[in-house]
Chain A
Amino acid sequence: MSDAYLALEDGRVIEARGRAPGRTRGELVFTTAYTGYEESLTDPSYEEQVLTFSYPLIGNYGVRSERFESDRVHPRAAIAREFTDDVAEWLAEEGVPAIDHLDTRELVTSIREEGAMRCGLAVGPDATPADAKAELDACKGMSEHVDIGAQVSVEEPTVHEGGSAATVAMIDCGAKGSIAESLLERDATVHVLPYDATPADVAAVDPDLLFISNGPGDPENFEAAEALVDEFVGDLPIAGICLGQQVVANALGGSTEKMDFGHRGVNQPVRDLDTDRVVMTTQNHGYTVGEPGDELNVTQVNVNDGTAEGLENEDLGVITRQYHPEAHPGPNDSLDFFDDVLDLVSTDTPVATSD
């Protein structure tokens, strides 16, 4: 008999083996990366989601905190064909339910066909299918998590002292640790500010650059960050990654939309429209920029579905990426994005501070 149940929006209840107990719910998504489970499980963008690994065997090289992207596990629950004991124990300690010994390929293809869906889990010796269904019934859609930023952001401003290349105000909408690290490696000092920081909070750190981080859920729920972009555009160079790109687009006259099941993996091909070169990128997003608006140009596109992967306005000093140039997990093909970002500061950007 099984001790774990997964209830799906389409009515199915799937039996599995419990690996970490608990009851929970969330939006069921999948990633196709086969390495980088520690990084993915600690990526704040998975907040309120249940993460399914397409790759069947997860946990093969253990668990080490130096590979974490934040200080806790973010998905509500984790699903694989088989977790190692190392990962199962870690998830249990973190109180994150986990299940395995189910046909995860069938689950993944269901998500592909039916879209990212709500689900409920019940895991433990006395778990029942009804418990899982009850969790499903209580499950909200991603856009309904209106205050999701508060769950993943720093509460107080913190500073990572780096060098003098630039002072960056990074709005933490659920930032992966590697973003700040990539900037620090390039001699920048990074002020991490809460997701709901005010223009005054930003001005207080006297930044050379405004950086909107990645984060979970619907970009429309990050109104404060959008307002910051609106406030500082033209005065400060602005950069964004993932949800950051979406927030920037919304602020500058563009629009965003929810995708069927998003892009999650480390093999998303992105073509630069200028050089015609294709690079592999890490992605984790369920929303995308639909219309970039009048201010922004699409400079990079996804080779598979043509969605906007890079936006730019040279005059205003704005560049954003939908994918994750900071890697962790995934390819380092686009690390030079951070050089380009810092170039916005060092080169004579048309920033209108002299006005």
Chain B
Amino acid sequence: MTDEATVADTSATESENRTILLIGSGPIQIGQAAEFDYSGAQACRALQEEGARVVLVNSNPATIMTDPEMADRVYIEPITTTAIAEIIRQEQPDGVIAGLGGQTGLNVTAELAEEGVLEEHDVEIMGTPLDTIYATEDRDLFRQRMEKIGQPVPASTTIVLDDDESAEAMSEDALRDRVAAAVDEVGGLPVIARTTYTLGGSGSGVVDDMDKLVERVRKGLRLSRNDEVLITESIAGWVELEYEVMRDADDSTIIICNMENIDPMGIHTGESVVVTPSQVIPDEGHQEMRDAALEVIRELGIQGGCNIQFAWHDDGTPGGEYRVVEVNPRVSRSSALASKATGYPIARVTAKVALGKRLHEIENEITGETTAAFEPAIDYVVTKVPRWPIDKFDDVDFTLGPAMKSTGEAMSIGRTFEESLLKALRSSEYEPAVDWIDVDDETLEQEYLERPSPDRPYAIFEAFDRGYTVESVVETTDIKEWYVERFKRVSESVAAAAEGDFTEAAVKGVTNAEIASTAGTDVGSVEASVPGRTYKQVDTCAGEFAAQTPYYYSSRKPEFVTGPFEGDAAAGELRVDRDVESVVVVGGGPIRIGQGVEFDYCSVHAIQALREEGVDAHVVNNNPETVSTDYDTSDGLFFEPITAEEVADVIEAADADGVMVQFGGQTSVNIGHPLEAELERRGLDCEILGTSVDAMDLAEDRDRFNRLMDDRGIAQPEGGSATSEQEALELATDIGYPVLVRPSYVLGGRAMDVVYDDEELKEYIEEAVRVSPDKPILIDEFLDDAVELDVDAVADGEDVLIGGVMEHVESAGVHSGDSACMIPPQADAVRDVMDRVREVTLEIARELDTVGLLNVQLAVKDGTVYVLEANPRSSRTVPFVSKATGVPIAKLAAKVMAGDDLADLDVEEQIPEQVSVKEVVLPFDRLEGSDPRLGPEMKSTGEVMGTAQHFGKAYEKAQSATGKAIPTTGTAVVDLSAAEFPAPDTEAGQALLDGFGEFFDVQEFDDLRGAIRAGEVDVIVSRNREALEVAVEEDVTYFSTHASATAVLEGLRHHDDPIDVQAISDRPKQQTQWGGE
């Protein structure tokens, strides 16, 4: 070997022989959504490009990053020190990258370091050092560092508990004194109280009342990992800005972009409408903050991506005045947004920088001719709008503040702010549940303008419709005039459209369909008289270089151009190949309860499958947190609202041959009908692939579906529909209480309930009618004590492949999306009817002419298999099934939809030899006042998976993966008073009491809430709402169903089983059919 070769080898092996452990962020929850799936997936690719061997761990099966082909070794295991230490022992990584798994990844890495695990196994923390993480999370330390380099921070002080103090034990007066001193120190009320070491600012708030502040501090001290609450000068009303920064080991440091919150300081940036780039900051102020950002990242020694928050206001000087508010020394939700807003792949560059690459050595894949050492230039306006679960939580106050309540977000791109805003609002798929006619001016001002809420943007439009001035809206909302003025222009343009002048509204971003409906005319005549949409490229450089990457947004032409664009003109800047076969995959939009990251997983799999088949795959989506909207996932990424009109425009521009609406959850399914009509109206030669829209409809139409099942001799719970209260009461009496009631069109279990008598039914009808006025309600027999099953299958019109059969832990009465479930089923009652389960699934697949995915929900009672629901489209269990069985059913579905036969795809059904449990994560700790009991309404935000030889251990692993591990000793309260539970004097009741008695000191308390507050209870079984709300506040583990309490006992009995940490590809499976053999 020559010297030269040796040298070359050394430099190449530097990263080639290294094993890197990448830690994911776990389940989707408020404050931590899909952004870490996107950044983790991007980082995996980047590390592998550099020749590193990647070991990945994440507990969330619904992610793309946990696909077996994403890393060299993929572990779906709890993100706990125990599980990860075991992985480290097995894989012996050289380094761990902590900055890509959100707060969860950072925290567990810090714990691994503190426990000495990293040192013991010689694992280096790559990228940003731990000291930096501590310096940014401990706000006092952070303030010291900022003061050292002369950067202004808001006045603040911490309230800290000494080792011998506890938040519970401290007297009211002592705490009050401590709080009063802190308030004095920062210059008086109002102040912001923040808890350190929490996700998304949980437990934070602007407070202007001493009593409230004392309560808030007590709560904050309990939640905080380090017994601290920070009290800060309120800079309410200042503009809140974020800067995304990148730095390499040679100190090349750049700003990727800045982001400006429309909502003023005091509202969490995750809750605010955010615009990129900043609009109201002059260059001098922008450069001052840019300098500050660079100085801060250098002082902290960050390597990779980082996010810095500022508050700014115009104090009359050319540059204005600013404060440094916060630093996130890692990839974050904002960095995902910044990546999508600019095209700069922050996670990819962060991963490469962690391996020692310099920015100018990393190629900018978007342009292909520049490097990562540049600052993106933007020639459009990006707007992000959060999406809140307001429709799921009647009892929760959705006033926006410093703590996050939103579950997801939508992003849009336009050439003007108006266009960008309207596209973003459309993309968020939110409609205020308010009839403005019923709102008087005073209420409008106080409840909807002054009070920040999800409805505020809509209220501003309403205010202008009522003739409010820009000045008065600025005054009540504290939103900058520049923005308010543009809201007014939208209102005016819509008013003009109603009078027949369509152009302004169109140019401002209103759809042709909306204009037609406002003006009471047909879409065709609107379309002919307004400027059409063309497609622009997101190129990182504002047009300076010719970009290579197919990342697009639409924009209307200015008013001097009229009519739709066709052919090449419609294509605008598109570089897609209009001559090859291509398919548009419709994505899932923002993450919300009932529609999580699993539908992005399905969309991405559909895209991958099409590309494997040699078909060009384009995607329409607007969620900036996702893998589907990464620039190299598809052949054409269209960042657009998901409406029939806008999807049809994409189809026309790309000259697509087919479109898939099965994969993006309800969002994509909902446009099936209107899209079919729109394609027909335009005479486009594009087919909706897979199961027909009519069959999807049939499955959702109870009456049609009931008749079909009856014809086929498939059992269903007895039921029917009622259009009046009288009819409903009669029907319920016929069936016999309890009954399950719901509106006829079911959206993710919305407004579903179990009622036990006439009174409850009457109450329900009042609400249901409000929910859906022109639809009847459905009343079904409630199958008490049945076992519920979920089946996911793929059909090609001929053959059917069952992906998996899951048994629910919680059964009837708990929404299937909130129930834990296991694969394969363990109950004997299910094993006995497995043949029938197969038969029923195959029959339904055939009857619905299913081509693609099919999800069937079944109930088994007394040996009979009942059909509860069938949906010929992707379901939320698809990724879980695929991860547990190793059969990629979403991909198979896309392939059969594109014309393949299952028989040709060389794939067999597989049954795992171990048990995998899926458990959900619930947002009650983020939503004060929410009902923490599981019920027919879906409330969970995300899911985790635990796998082991026995159900008990798998269930226990899944529970610990949710972050709420089952306690193993201490005091238990087993309160069986609710109808849900067996009475204490029954055999089942006694079994529960005895079971808990085996592990815990089972006690009763006269004042249960007080006992929980005092920390005297470790685990609770109850449906006492008030007590459970306290348990949520105090972070005490509880179980609100009989089924989960029973499962917990199983878990405890298997607590001492081996933890069974294994890469998913190593877990054994059998090539056997699900039933029917």
Question: Which residues of A line the B interface, CB within 8 A?
Answer: 2, 15-17, 30, 32-36, 38-39, 54-57, 60-61, 64, 66-67, 81-82, 101-105, 108-109, 112-113, 265-269, 271, 275-280, 303-304, 327-333
Contact = CB atoms under 8 A, between A and B. Distances in A.
B283 A280 contact: no
Interface core residue of A57, A112, A265 (most chain B CB under 10 Å): A57
Nearest to B287: A332
B282 A269 contact: no
Contacts of A327: 287
A302 B65 CA distance: 37
Contact of A101 (B277, B358, B559): B559
Given A35-B281, A102-B558, A304-B370, A265 B377 contact: yes
B447 interface: no
A60 B482 contact: yes
A61 B282 contact: yes
A34 B257 CA distance: 11
A103 B370 contact: no
Contacts of B318: 64, 66-67
A329 B543 contact: no
B378 A34 contact: yes
A308 to B, nearest CB: 17
A81 B252 CA distance: 33
Contacts of A16: 558, 560
Contacts of B370: 269, 303-304
B333 interface: no
Given A57-B381, A109-B543, A327-B287, A280 B557 contact: no
A175 B255 CA distance: 28
Contact of A271 (B360, B379, B380, B482): B360
24 contacts: A30-B543, A33-B283, A34-B377, A34-B379, A35-B277, A35-B281, A35-B282, A35-B283, A55-B277, A55-B542, A56-B416, A57-B381, A108-B379, A108-B543, A112-B544, A113-B546, A269-B254, A269-B374, A278-B360, A304-B369, A304-B370, A327-B287, A328-B283, A332-B291
A101 B507 CA distance: 10
Instruction: Bin the interface of chain B by size.
Output: 35 or more
A263 B376 CA distance: 14
Interface in B266-312: 277-284, 286-287, 290-291, 294
A109 B573 contact: yes
A2 B377 contact: no
A327 B290 CA distance: 13
Nearest to A61: B282
A66 B318 CA distance: 7
A278 B559 contact: no
B417 A57 contact: yes
Given A32-B541, A55-B378, 12 more contacts: A17-B558, A17-B559, A34-B378, A34-B379, A54-B379, A81-B416, A108-B544, A267-B374, A277-B250, A277-B252, A303-B370, A330-B283
B379 A105 contact: yes
Contacts of B282: 35, 38, 61, 64, 67
Given A109-B543, A278-B252, A304-B369, A54 B377 contact: yes
The 3 A-B residue pairs whose C-beta atoms are closest, nearest first, are: A36-B283, A32-B377, A108-B543
A73 to B, nearest CB: 16
A306 B279 CA distance: 32
Nearest to A62: B282
Interface string B416-429: 11000000000000
A34 B277 contact: yes
B536 interface: yes
B373 A112 contact: no
Contact of A265 (B250, B251, B360, B544): B544
Interface centre among B255, B286, B545 (most CB of A within 10 A): B286
Contacts of A109: 543, 573
Contacts of A303: 360, 370-371, 373-374
B526 interface: no
B915 interface: no
B851 interface: no
Contacts of A104: 379
A265 B540 CA distance: 13
A327 B318 CA distance: 14
Interface string B528-545: 000000001000011111
Contacts of B380: 56
A55 B379 contact: yes
A67 B379 CA distance: 23
B375 interface: yes
A104 B573 CA distance: 13
A329 B381 contact: no
B377 A267 contact: yes
Contacts of A32: 377, 379, 541-544
Contacts of A17: 558-559
Contacts of B281: 35, 61
Contacts of A277: 250-252
A60 B280 contact: yes
A108 to B, nearest CB: 4
Contacts of B873: none
Contacts of A330: 283, 287
Contact of A56 (B252, B286, B379): B379
A56 B287 contact: no
B359 interface: yes
Contacts of B415: 56, 81, 105
Contacts of B254: 269, 278, 280
Contacts of A101: 558-560
A2 B560 contact: yes
B379 A35 contact: no
Nearest to B370: A304
Contacts of A38: 282-283
Contacts of A36: 283
Contact of B375 (A103, A267, A276): A267
Most A CB within 10 A of own CB, among B278, B377, B545: B377
A304 B359 CA distance: 13
Interface centre among A39, A54, A56, A276 (most CB of B within 10 A): A56
B279 A60 contact: yes
A291 B573 CA distance: 36
A283 to B, nearest CB: 11
B289 to A, nearest CB: 11
Interface in B363-402: 369-371, 373-381
B360 A82 contact: no
Given A55-B378, A267-B376, A276 B543 contact: no
Contacts of B543: 30, 32, 54, 105, 108-109, 112
Nearest to A113: B546
Contact of A35 (B286, B546, B557, B560): B286
Contacts of B255: 280
A61 to B, nearest CB: 5
A104 B360 CA distance: 30
Nearest to B319: A67
Contacts of B544: 32, 54, 108, 112, 265
Which has the most chain B C-beta neighbours within 10 Å: A16, A66, A266?
A266
A56 B381 contact: yes
Contacts of A39: 283
A328 B287 CA distance: 9
B284 to A, nearest CB: 7
A17 B415 CA distance: 16
Contacts of B294: 333
A304 B374 contact: yes
A273 to B, nearest CB: 12
Contacts of B278: 35
A279 to B, nearest CB: 8
Most buried by B among A2, A17, A35, A81: A35
A59 to B, nearest CB: 10
Contacts of B283: 33, 35-36, 38-39, 67, 328-330
B678 to A, nearest CB: 26
B1064 to A, nearest CB: 41
